[in-house]
């Protein structure tokens, strides 16, 4: 049945002229179930003001919540409410080997007239057994809580439906380190042994709780987030490299004002721009090829992790030939909101 659906999608894309000129070597996937394929415990803890009122399994929260439980906002009509905090699943991010391959859409391939570089691992020579890697990435709007009309009012949930927001295949900066400097010129300051060694502390902090926001150039145990592109000079395994690409891609979209933060007192009335992303405002959960949904996915009983946490404890068995070489993640964003029953 899924193969037949993909066949119909491919025909429809060819009629609209979106069928890709680029034919990937392999593109497999499956449509995610919004009920069973989401780590729902990741929305916890829920807070009112700075006090936790709901948590199961000691879910983590590193963000400072506003201390007062009461708030007011002044949009078109002013209103008063309670300050609540939770982690909202708002995005799905794909990290893929083949251009225009969308595993979240059932393994659909689509594209345009461009010919972006193939991704995946590339061993350079016998003296470099680890090799480098390069992946394409896709950013989907996926506000499942709003779609399912769950938890809170529309004021505290991102509205809209599932939509494709950004693909790296058409971005010339994604495959070129020199062009990327237009977006992240500060990368030159963090490409030295001292700043790279500092990421060891970030790795330890992220593995115990959340990474250190002061070390914003670090992705914990995965390395450094610079440059903001898909070139990784050392391949660390599919899942670990995909986690690094996910962090880089999210930071890149923050820099381009295409992603917004929603935590703290500044986010009570609406999300806001954050060009230098606070990495402690996100948690991630693998949704493809094997969704992290249960307490057996990690020794600590959690099915999501902050940026930079070691993959040793949860990534075992998540990468395998063919179907398990592309990855998709659910991105949970910390949200503080002024909640009111009045609409």
Mean pLDDT is lowest, of 173-182, 255-264, 303-312, 334-343, for 334-343
Q: The tokens of 20 are what?
A: 């890709």
Q: How many domains does the chain have?
A: 1
* 85 contact partners, CB below 8 Å, separation of at least 6: 45, 46, 47, 48, 61, 63, 65, 263, 334, 335, 336, 337
Residue with tokens 């670090």: 218
Q: What pLDDT score does 148 carry?
A: 75
Q: What pLDDT score does 7 carry?
A: 34
pLDDT-derived band at 33 (thresholds 50, 70, 90) equals confident
pLDDT in tens, 62-73: 878 898 899 999
* Residue range of the domain that includes 219: 2-339
Q: Residue 262 and residue 272: Cα distance in Å, rounded? A: 6
Q: What pLDDT score does 21 carry?
A: 35
Q: Residue 28 and residue 67: Cα distance in Å, rounded? A: 47
pLDDT in tens, 35-72: 888 999 999 999 998 888 888 878 889 878 898 899 99
CB 207 within 8 A of CB 309: yes
Give φ, ψ of 149 to 5 degrees. 55, 55
pLDDT cut 90: percent of the chain above it: 56
CB 307 within 8 A of CB 220: yes
Q: What pLDDT score does 243 carry?
A: 96
């Amino acid at each position: 049945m899924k193969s037949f659906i993909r066949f119909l999608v491919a025909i429809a894309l060819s009629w609209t002229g979106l069928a890709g000129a680029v034919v990937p070597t392999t593109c497999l996937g499956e449509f995610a179930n919004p009920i069973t394929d989401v780590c729902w415990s990741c929305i916890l803890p829920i807070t009112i003001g700075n006090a936790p009122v709901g948590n199961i399994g000691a879910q983590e929260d590193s963000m400072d919540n506003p201390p007062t439980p009461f708030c007011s906002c002044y949009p078109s009509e002013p209103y008063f409410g309670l300050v609540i905090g939770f982690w909202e699943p708002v995005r799905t991010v794909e990290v893929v080997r083949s251009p225009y391959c969308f595993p979240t859409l059932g393994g659909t391939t689509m594209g345009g007239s461009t010919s972006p570089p193939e991704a995946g691992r590339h061993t350079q020579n016998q003296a470099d057994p680890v090799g480098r890697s390069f992946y394409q990435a896709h950013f989907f709007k996926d506000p499942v809580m709003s779609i399912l009309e769950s938890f809170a009012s529309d004021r505290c949930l991102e509205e809209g439906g599932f939509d494709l927001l950004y693909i790296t295949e058409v971005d010339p900066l994604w495959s070129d380190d020199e062009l990327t400097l237009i977006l992240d010129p500060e990368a030159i300051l963090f490409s030295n042994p001292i700043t790279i060694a500092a990421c060891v502390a970030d790795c330890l902090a992220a593995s115990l709780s959340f990474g250190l926001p002061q070390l914003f150039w670090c992705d914990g145990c995965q390395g450094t987030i610079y440059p903001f592109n898909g070139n990784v000079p050392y391949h660390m395994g599919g899942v670990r490299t995909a986690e690094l690409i996910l962090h880089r891609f999210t930071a890149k979209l923050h820099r381009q004002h295409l992603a917004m933060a929603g935590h703290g007192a500044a986010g009570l009335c609406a999300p806001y721009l954050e060009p230098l992303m606070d990495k402690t405002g996100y948690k991630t959960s693998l949704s493809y090829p094997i969704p992290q949904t249960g307490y057996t996915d990690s020794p600590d009983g959690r099915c999501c992790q902050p940026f930079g946490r070691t993959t040793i404890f949860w990534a075992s068995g998540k990468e395998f030939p063919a179907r398990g070489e592309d990855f998709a993640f659910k991105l949970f964003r910390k949200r503080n909101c002024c909640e009111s029953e009045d609409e």
